[in-house]
């Protein structure tokens, strides 16, 4: 009965489920993946498992010290939108790139996956962003990011018609580090609420949560329907508070706490449940695990599945990405999963 009621509630616009659409807002970043030792991380003053923001000079310097394994247009929400598109639903992305070679490549790469890129490229200012992903021997990834043009996303880039017939809006917490991007988020939330679009927020990084904890808690009281984060991010946000107790004091409908090989905790009005992860023989690279979990989860949610069934599928998708380098799965792999 719960599954039937959830299906009917999700399909509140009376649309065919295969016509469901999602819009993502996030940093448009080139992902540069490199395999490194723990000693290298220490010598470069990188915190294992975390993301560090740097300026262009620092990024240029460390690029000369690594051997890239793989390069992809990326960014957390961009990866999620591509995953959803390759699974078979309509996805759109709003982020900022420069009208440089990397920016052109980013847009071209997104649209090859049938993910529609919405925002205009900037014609001056900072170059297109990049994120260097350092993969250590245990598969953990640490990131050093030069945000470049992605920080220049502003409210003027957000158009009301972007939200026509959109069912879900996914917002990347990483954007919060830019003042102009925060203004863009507030505008997007305002439009989404008018159009009765469900709003999903990703906590993105524990250091970010620590820095903007009060802002995020304020958002959760009135603006967000679904919150996604890992156990470290929730620890910074809530301390030792129980997720179910927290949910009862907010307007958030679903909390999702990813816990690596321990699975994901799903909390909604029906209670809390741990969804187990899918076991793999070896972990090569955890880059994109959270992004692909979100893709699988939101794909199934858009198709009318319950949060718990959606989280199970998200875990399945995530289990595949950690067995390869990089943050994206192939179209063939994802289309086979969707069938």
Domain spans, the chain: 2-27+75-128+149-338
Q: Does domain 2-27+75-128+149-338 have CATH number 3.90.25.10?
A: no
Q: Cα–Cα distance between 246 and 267 in angstroms, integer?
A: 10
Whole-structure pTM value: 0.85
**pLDDT single digits (tens) 288-299:** 889 999 999 999
pLDDT at 6 over 50: no
**pLDDT single digits (tens) 99-144:** 988 899 889 989 999 999 999 999 999 989 988 989 899 888 898 9
**pLDDT single digits (tens) 24-41:** 999 999 888 899 999 999
The burial class, CB within 10 Å (0-12 / 13-18 / 19+), for 256 is buried
Nearest to 117 by CA among 101, 88, 94: 94
Q: Cα–Cα distance between 242 and 231 in angstroms, integer?
A: 12
- Cβ proximity of 73 and 97 under 8 Å: no
């Amino acid at each position: 009965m719960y599954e039937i009621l959830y299906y009917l509630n999700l399909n509140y616009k009376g649309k065919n489920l295969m016509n469901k659409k999602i819009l993502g807002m996030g940093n448009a970043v080139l992902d540069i993946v490199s395999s490194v030792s723990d000693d290298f991380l220490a010598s470069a003053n990188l915190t294992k498992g975390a993301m560090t923001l740097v300026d262009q000079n620092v990024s240029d310097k460390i690029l000369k010290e690594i051997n890239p394994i793989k390069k992809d247009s990326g960014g957390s929400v961009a990866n999620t939108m591509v995953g959803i598109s390759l699974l078979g639903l309509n996805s759109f992305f709003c982020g900022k790139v420069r009208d440089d070679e990397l920016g052109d490549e980013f847009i071209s790469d997104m649209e090859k996956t049938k993910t529609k890129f919405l925002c205009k490229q900037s014609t001056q200012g900072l170059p297109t962003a990049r994120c260097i992903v350092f993969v250590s021997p245990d598969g953990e990834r640490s990131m050093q990011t030069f945000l470049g043009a992605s920080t220049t996303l502003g409210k003027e880039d957000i158009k009301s018609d972007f939200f026509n017939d959109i069912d879900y809006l996914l917002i990347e917490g990483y954007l919060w580090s830019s003042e102009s991007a925060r203004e863009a988020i507030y505008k997007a939330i305002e439009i989404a609420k008018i159009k009765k679009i469900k709003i999903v927020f990703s906590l993105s990084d524990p250091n970010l949560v620590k820095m903007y904890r009060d802002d995020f808690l304020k958002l959760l009281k009135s603006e967000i329907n679904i919150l996604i984060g890992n156990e470290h991010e929730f620890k910074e946000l809530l301390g030792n508070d129980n997720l179910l107790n927290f949910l009862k004091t907010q307007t958030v409908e679903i909390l999702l706490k990813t816990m690596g090989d321990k699975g994901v905790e799903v909390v909604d009005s029906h209670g809390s449940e741990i969804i187990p992860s899918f076991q793999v023989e070896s972990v090569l690279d955890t880059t994109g695990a959270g992004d692909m979990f979100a893709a699988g989860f939101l794909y199934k949610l858009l198709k009318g599945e319950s949060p718990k069934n959606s989280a199970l599928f998200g875990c399945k998708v995530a289990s595949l990405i950690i067995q390869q380098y990089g943050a994206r799965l192939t179209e063939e792999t994802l289309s086979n999963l969707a069938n």
